[in-house]
Structure 1
Amino acid sequence: MNLRTRGNTNWKRIHEGSPIQSSPRLRSRSALPGLFQVERLITRRRLKEGTEYLVKWQGYPIEQSTWEPDQHIPASIRRSYDQPEISDCQRETFSRDARQSFQSRLKTRGLKFSVPCHLNVFRALLRTDRETLLGREELEHLCLPPYWWYNIDKHGEGTCVEFPVRAKPCLRQRTKYTVHDGRVAKISIPVETVVFQARTRACTLDMIHS
């Protein structure tokens, strides 16, 4: 059962900073009946009426996350948005996925690649919820191994990442069709990623040690 009926949401516009036209339904919306526990705040947006948070509810699948006005969320939870707590497992998972993605990037020509990442993990590690430029030192504190930014052969020649690297937290929706009460139903599942943009260049052993 959906926690709240949702209208059409342009996820791409939201996370590119475009203004979102709110409907009259948002102004008179009441709190959800019953008591629900917040698992985490995925992201937030600012409307004319105020700030709303996309809430992942404890015990409910992510496709039932809902946009909630800030007055529906306790102040202590809202304060945790900018400095969320994450586990060592979450940090290690992001480190592993980032390392694998950067190493793959060194073998291709593409400038952009994405890493699966809960947006609260991105905020916890980089202390921002916006697109940002990162130097090598800023990325290395994410528990990445010393070889994450280059790929060389036995002769000490290869490819390395050029710095700074651009990192952008992104939220998009993936459409999935399921069966509900004997009928095909369409659901939208939020997908959280960090999109990195990085150039590469040829490198030698001397360049890596410089």
Structure 2
Amino acid sequence: MSDLPPETRDWLNSVGFAVKNEAVWLEALTHGSFNSGSNAARSETADIDYQRLEFLGDRVLGLSVASWLYGAIRGQEGQLSQRLNALVSGSICARIARTIGVPDHIRLGKQAREDGGADSDNILGDVMEALIGASFLDNGYDATRTVIYRLWEKELAGDAGKAKHPKSALQEWAAGNRRAMPRYEVIDRSGPDHAARFTVKVSIHKVGEAEATASSKGAAEKLAAQAFLEQFG
């Protein structure tokens, strides 16, 4: 027999998670702290928590997002990995969990709830993945992927994981504004070989220039590009 409250079942269905086997959803919403004290004594499912489903859901989420990125972005492997890692991060999972109302339905022990467990990024992120795992078991991959794409819609369309190297960003800025390409020049080198300091100037014709100093030429170019964008971008 399942202890899944009717209001929780209604909530899951409203989010898009079709509930067939209530037990798997109850497991996804149960934190380990619930399995102690009087809570465990009252529950017929006192030996469960969401960790196994979290493990499964993490993989389903990763595959779903990776598949979307592969079809939507013409980037190299490194760019795809950077975006994937950002989009499936615990912080984004927790953000989406809050958006859909997960905190109201987590089963926590008394002390864990008093300690703010229902608003913990770690717990919310884990439960979000566990719900995905439950959906995979109860409804299959295709249905679960559809729910993920809907819940992650704003994140997929946003800038998560899109951070560019300043030199690449400056080159794109110049092209987008119909300017000449950036020109980098080492204007000073000081210090011994083991502790050298490089000063680099980056300039764009008829726009301006910026300088930066670092312990390597590459690092100085990066800082100079960043300074240029901050000043003129």
In the superposition, the TM-score normalised over structure 1's length comes to 0.26
Instruction: Compute the TM-score of the two structures, normalised by the length of structure 2.
Output: 0.24
Q: Which is richer in helix?
A: 2
Bigger CA radius of gyration: 2
